[in-house]
Amino acid sequence: MRKRVHIVMAVATVVAALFAFSPGMADCGEGGSPTNHAGSCETADNQVQCGGTATPASNVHAGTEGVETCNDGSGATPVQGRIGASSECECIYADGDAENQSPLNGWARLDQDGVNCDGSGEQSYNSGPGGPCF
């Protein structure tokens, strides 16, 4: 798993050098999740706020610490949330917005501990350890 994350990070570095994306930073306020490597976060009521560079489909970010695509409702992508890989958590993640139908309003993370989901009550992939997926 760690080797895969390093490969993803190497690819992200090359992409960042080629496209020079510079992320905007979202502010999710009190009770929200921490702002991640791409500048995105979730508010206390599970609303995704995107950082990164806006494109017609979604916001995108590629940097030395990871890659992410994020839609907070301003992009053409029908599902709101974020998908990415990060060296901060050494993980690959999908994190849905409250606007989506279940189960797309939850989150899942694959890291060195295996697959974790929102079963433990945390609202965001980067706000806690997670819980069982089933």
- Give the per-residue pLDDT at 122: 66
- Closest to 107 in 3D by CA, of 26, 61, 48, 64: 48
This prediction's pTM:
0.73
pLDDT surpasses 90 at 23: no
pLDDT, tens digit (0-9, with 9 covering 90-100), for 83-127 = 999 998 899 999 999 899 888 888 899 988 888 888 656 667 876
CA-to-CA separations, 97 to 16, 34, 41, 90, 111, in angstroms, rounded:
26, 15, 10, 22, 21
Band of pLDDT at residue 7, cut at 50, 70 and 90: low
Residue type, 97: D
pLDDT surpasses 50 at 13: no
- Of residues 90 and 25, the one with the higher pLDDT is 90
How many C-beta atoms surround the C-beta of residue 29 within 10 A?
Answer: 10
Band of pLDDT at residue 12, cut at 50, 70 and 90: very low
Residues in CB range of 39: below 8 A, 6 or more apart: 23, 24, 25, 26, 50, 51, 52, 61
- Of residues 5 and 38, the one with the higher pLDDT is 38
The pair of three-digit structure tokens given for residue 12, joined into one six-digit string: 């992200």
pLDDT, tens digit (0-9, with 9 covering 90-100), for 30-86 = 777 778 888 888 888 888 999 889 999 999 999 888 899 999 999 888 999 999 999
Give the mean pLDDT of 4-22.
Answer: 45
